[in-house]
Amino acid sequence: MSFLKNFLFVIFILCLTIAGMGQVSVIDTIDIGGVPAGIEVNPATNRVYVSNGYWITEIDGASDSVIDTIWGAQGVNGIDVDTVRNRLYAASISDSIVYVFDCGTNSIIADVKVEYYPYGLGVDPTTNKIYVAHAYYNNVFVVDGSANSVIDTIDVEDSPLSVAVNPATNRIYTSNFDDVSVIDGEADTVITSISVPSGPGVMSIDPALNRLYVPRQNSDDVLVIDGATNAGIDTIEAGNYPIAVDVNSEENRIYVSNYYVDSISVIDCSAGSVVSSIGVGDGPRYISVNPKTNKIYVSCYFDGTIWVLEDLAGGVETPTSEPSPLNFTVSPNPSSGSTEFVLNIPVVAEEVGFSIYNVTGTLVKSFSLGDVSSSQINLSWDGTGNDGEKCVSGTYIGVLKAREGKIFKGKILLVQ
């Protein structure tokens, strides 16, 4: 009887996961080059900003295409957007400066000198304060957004890396080496420290529920903290090495980037469990959600791409009638024999090509499909290259392209 109960429970979880997978899917990949790190959405303008080593990339959330490259701030990791004033703040590690951009003109309007190694930052649009974490000096600088000057310094615990702000309660949180500091935004003083062993990562706040979600990188889970009591109320399993999390409070879901396994976990906060896991590019780092469109943007550090996912669990404000972008599925994966691909292509696509590369970027196999009138094409790969020789075991990258400029990439694990 016990075995039957366990079996039925496993079936139930599998059904739940499959249902969740049907609701969340990859809809686009955007190749921006460099090493994309921090990523933030401004829902008010439907613009996405990505820090990228020596520049910041601006993406139009309607078309999911790059519309501008913003120069002038290098060595940037942490960024945040003031949605009220349409400003972007970027913390430059190399310059020890917080750059302030006017998002209307994409120009620098101020540069605020701070201490060495500013890493993460957070904006409180209600008080117009910006909180900047300094991992090297174990403190947080408070910047006045009106004067663009430092007005206070707050000592926190060891190695603060990320900042989360709850404008509804005027509380600010920093994730440190093994704890989270809670700051009163009125007095700009530390109220308490919450023990979070196992390496807290990039956090996210749900202002509606007053909950803080903290990914714990070394224990593969997300700690849920009640903002009223400053105590942990739940722990939710995620993927391997969850490095960052973002919340969609309108759908009561959180999304977690799992750095070591190149995936995104979708967590239903009501159920307190993962309902879906979606593969993305190499080294997913930061993640940002637009609650108005239910799109999730993921910066993949090692392959220079932004992956765009869509969550269809709930409605969106302005559904699109655009044709679905390019994508494909792989089965089986890993594969030890023939690998089958199902290519999903908009009817209007022209000069479609599918290629397979090794991890060094060398072309291994190419398929020329020409102009495509069908929305779905089946391909088979026998594991050989263009030269007819068998490919060695390892990871390969499938790339689907069309003349319209759309690109989709996916990983293939071949075992010969």
Q: Which domain holds residue 401?
A: 327-414
Mean pLDDT across 78-87: 95
Computed over every residue of the chain, the mean pLDDT equals 86
pTM above threshold 0.75: no
pLDDT of residue 399: 83
% residues pLDDT > 90 (the chain): 62
Mean pLDDT across 236-240: 93
Q: Is residue 318 part of a domain?
A: no
Among 311, 341, 370, the domain-final residue is: 311
Residue 132 sits in the same domain as residue 79: yes
Mean pLDDT across 373-384: 82
pLDDT of residue 359: 65
Residue 143 sits in the same domain as residue 251: yes
Beta-carbon contacts of residue 23 (< 8 Å; ≥ 6 apart)? 275, 276, 311, 312, 313
Res 245 pLDDT > 50: yes
pLDDT digits (tens, 9 = 90+) for 167-178: 999 999 999 999
Mean pLDDT across 337-362: 77
Q: Is residue 72 part of a domain?
A: yes
CATH number of the domain that residue 399 is part of: 2.60.40.4070
Among 263, 284, 311, the domain-final residue is: 311
**Quick check: bond before 207 cis, omega within 30?**
no
Mean pLDDT across 289-307: 94
CATH number of the domain that residue 23 is part of: 2.130.10.10
Nearest Cα to 354, choosing from 319, 390, 398, 314? 398
Q: How many Å apart are CA 136 and CA 130, to the nearest integer?
A: 18
Q: Is residue 322 part of a domain?
A: no
Mean pLDDT across 25-53: 93
Based on the structure, what is the number of domains in the chain?
Answer: 2
Query: Who has greater pLDDT, 342 or 180?
Result: 180
CB 262 within 8 A of CB 411: yes
